[in-house]
Amino acid sequence: MSELPYTGHCMCGGVRFEVTEEPLTAGYCHCTRCQRRTGTAASAQARLAPGSFHLLAGDELVREYAPGDGWPKCFCSECGSALWSKYPDTGEVGSVRLGLFDPGHGIRPQWHSFVDYACEWEPLPDDGLERHAEGKPR
Ligand SMILES: [Zn+2]
Ligand SMILES: [Zn+2]
């Protein structure tokens, strides 16, 4: 079993954080925005409980891109790592990219969202997770 807090960092190590509560949920997003943002077929991410995210280092490195019709996306200006999105209403960290977390955490994706937009070159895995044609209903 893993223990809180969960820790993580970007590729260059400049941005470091910890998460002090179990995430609300986690899943894969297959939307075209996530494909472009990550350069991959899908983005695995953990939706955090408000107040559970703590930035330990690298505040000055975090840059933000707001697509306009979606949550602002943050990335490391030094190494380009995708970091997290922010709740648009509060500006708090919302979904942290799962690949940033140090090994040993117990967070497991539970669903696939925006599967109608999934890449033709990477079929959805037959993993039994729930699937949503568009966004996961909240
Ligand atoms: Zn970095
Ligand atoms: Zn997405």
Q: Kindly list the distances between the CA atom of residue 111 and the CA atoms of 7, 26, 100, 115, 136, in Å, as whole numbers in the listed order.
A: 23, 7, 19, 10, 8
pTM: 0.92
Distance 36 CA to ligand 2 centre (A): 9
Neighbours of ion ligand 2 (CB under 5 A): 29, 31, 34
Binned average pLDDT, 10 residues per bin, the chain of 138 residues = 88 98 97 93 96 97 89 96 93 95 95 97 96 89
Distance 82 CA to ligand 1 centre (A): 9
Domain range for residue 109? 6-131
Distance 123 CA to ligand 1 centre (A): 30
**In angstroms, rounded to a whole number, what is the distance separating the alpha carbons of residues 10 and 84?**
11
Distance 52 CA to ligand 2 centre (A): 22
Amino acid identity of residue 26, one-letter, is: A
Q: Do the domain assignments include residue 77?
A: yes
pLDDT at 88: 86
Place of tokens 């953990």: 46
Q: Do the domain assignments include residue 1?
A: no
Report the CATH number at residue 81: 2.170.150.70
Count of domains forming the chain? 1
Q: Do the domain assignments include residue 102?
A: yes
Q: Are residues 11 and 79 in contact, defined by beta-carbon separation less than 8 angstroms?
A: yes
Q: Are residues 16 and 8 in contact, defined by beta-carbon separation less than 8 angstroms?
A: yes
**In angstroms, rounded to a whole number, what is the distance separating the alpha carbons of residues 31 and 46?**
16
Q: Do the domain assignments include residue 138?
A: no
Q: Do the domain assignments include residue 137?
A: no
Distance 13 CA to ligand 1 centre (A): 5
Ligand nearest to the CA of 82: 1
